[in-house]
Amino acid sequence: MNKAEVSALFAQQFNEAPSFVIASPGRINLIGEHVDYNSGFVLPAAIDKYMYVAVSQRNDSQILLHATDLNQNFQTNLDAALQPSSSGWPNYVLGVIDELRKDGHVVSGFNMLITGNIPIGAGVSSSAALECATVFACKHLFDLDISKQSMVKIAQRAENNFVGVNCGVMDQFASMFGKADHVIKLDCADLSYTYFPFKLEGISIVLFDTFVKHSLASSEYNTRRQECETGLAALRQQFSITSFREATLAMLDTVADSISDKVYNRCKYVIEEIGRMEAACNHLLAGEIGAFGTRMYETHMGLSELYEVSCPELDCIVENCKKENDIVGARMMGGGFGGCVIALVQTANVEAVYNRINTAYQNKFGRNMGKYLMHIGDGTRLLD
């Protein structure tokens, strides 16, 4: 969508032109899954699918939200403490407003229209895109002095504190800092980052969608985080380390008797994935795309067997990807328990590969899987 189209929807709803229109992208993550909240490195990128937000300031303290794609409205008043909505989607906006006010920023009433083309429930972070769009809109609407780094942290805290998902910072960072044709090597400990060019000749980034909604993801996500914290605490009692980045499997074996098998497996996955991420970046720099793909398959195995955030549908797709010579690598992506498999596929054979894997998926589950071709796009921005 362009600015004119989003503005027309806003005018239809609110009988005025918006002051600003913002596009904020979803994200993919090539490798480094579930390590962003464990002080690891990740390799995400923004995608060319967006949440669009149009806003105008009001002369009262009302917040009026309209979600075009859901055909739903929400209204609240800033004079009282903001309360989570049972509808779910307004909370990504309200959480940002709540965090801005906690930081001492002055926010008054506004009208907001929300629309977009990010596949919902596919694990490409439509929620982070909406949070980033909201904080970016408020920065411009209320002339707030906030850096991009601060906006990322506000968006993350909104999800942690108001929505109640104890997520790491990767999704919001990728949405805000995305750069076309580049992946971001992000250090989740201090938010330092490096852009890597990522335009592979003859290879496409494809998402295969299970169409399984990750209803377990929020609660299990928080559980995984607690399990990792338990394991790290045990490691810290024995060794002078601050994070999993300094931990080794030998250290983990030393404390194995003091933690449960589950906690051991979670920690083993995290330590291995941090190592895989470093190896994968070196493969990219060396142009070793086949070796990079191997790391992706290893990540999936760890997520499925050690971290236990996969599901039969995701595992089925990855197993069938392994049979395809035209697929360089594949793994489940995102929180887990549904969503998508990310695969690097020879561009010329995407349709044929999809058809074969979809046939196997149909035979096992009695329904089709989805397919999205993803291109790496720019981060959150004002539309001109």
Nearest one of 62, 70, 69 to 107, comparing CA atoms: 62
Residues 6+ apart with CB under 8 A from 339: 121, 122, 123, 209, 210, 212, 214, 217, 314, 332, 333
- The DSSP 8-state label assigned to residue 119 in this structure reads P
- The DSSP 8-state label assigned to residue 347 in this structure reads G
Nearest one of 341, 43, 333, 350 to 198, comparing CA atoms: 43
Q: Which two tokens stand for residue 255?
A: 């404390």
Q: Looking at 36, 171, 209, 315, which residue is catalytic?
A: 171
Catalytic annotation on 171?
yes
The alpha-carbon radius of gyration of the chain (Å, integer) is 21
Please give the Cα distance from 72 to 63 (Å, whole number): 14
Handedness of CA 175, 378, 151, 107 (dihedral sign): negative
Please give the Cα distance from 77 to 87 (Å, whole number): 17
161 residue type, one letter: N
Dihedral pair phi/psi, residue 75, rounded to 5°: -140, 140
Active-site residue set: 171
